[in-house]
Amino acid sequence: MRILVSAGEASGDMYAARMVRALHKHYDSASYFGCTGPRLKEASVETVVDSAKLSVVGLAEVAGHLPGIYREYRRLIHVLREDPPDAAVLTDSPDFHLRLARHLRAMGVPVFYLVAPQVWAWRQGRVRQIRERVRKLFCLFPFEEEWFRSRGVDATYIGHPLATAVKPTSTRDAFFASHGLDAGTLTVAVLPGSRAGEAQRHMPDLLGALKILRQRFPLQIVLATPNGFAEQRVFATFREPIRELAIKVIEDETWDVLANADLALAASGTVTVEAAVLGTPMVTYYKVTSASWWAGRRLVKVPYLSMVNLIAGRMAVPELIQHEMTPDKLADAASPLLVDPENAARMRRDLAIIKAKLTAQFDPFERAALLMAAELGHFRN
Question: Residue 1: which residues within 8 A CB-CB, separation 6 or more?
Answer: 27, 29, 30, 31, 86, 87
Residue 38: left (phi > 0), alpha (psi -120 to 50), or beta?
alpha
Q: Which amino acid is at 5?
A: V
Q: Is 251 exposed, middle or buried (0-12, 13-18, 19+ CB in 10 A)?
A: middle
Burial class of residue 231, CB neighbours in 10 A (0-12, 13-18, 19+): exposed
Q: Give pLDDT, residue 55.
A: 56
Distance CA(267)–CA(195), nearest Å, equals: 11
Task: pLDDT tens for the chain, 381 residues: list them.
Answer: 999 999 988 888 999 999 999 999 889 899 999 999 999 999 999 999 998 776 544 433 444 456 767 888 899 999 999 999 999 999 988 988 999 999 999 999 999 999 999 888 878 889 999 999 999 999 999 889 999 999 999 999 999 999 998 999 999 999 999 999 999 999 999 999 988 889 999 999 999 999 999 999 999 999 999 888 777 777 888 999 999 999 999 999 999 999 999 999 999 988 999 999 999 999 999 998 777 666 666 666 677 888 999 999 899 999 999 999 999 999 999 999 999 999 999 999 999 999 999 998 889 999 999 999 999 985 444
- Domains of the chain by residue range: 2-159+360-376, 172-358
Same fold, 2-159+360-376 and 172-358: yes
Q: Note the helical H segments in the chain.
A: 10-23, 38-42, 59-82, 94-106, 127-133, 144-149, 162-165, 172-178, 196-216, 233-244, 254-259, 270-278, 290-296, 307-312, 327-339, 341-358, 364-376
Q: Does domain 2-159+360-376 have CATH number 3.30.300.170?
A: no
Decide if domain 172-358 falls under CATH 1.10.150.20: no
Element (H, E) at 50: strand 46-50
5, β-bridge pairs: 34, 89
**In the prediction, which pLDDT does 303 show?**
78
CA angle 85, 113, 124 (to 5 degrees): 135
pTM: 0.80
pLDDT at 282: 98
What does the buried/exposed string (b/e) look like for 288-307 if buried means 16 or more CB atoms within 10 Å of the residue's CB? Answer: bbeebbeeeeeeeeeebbbb
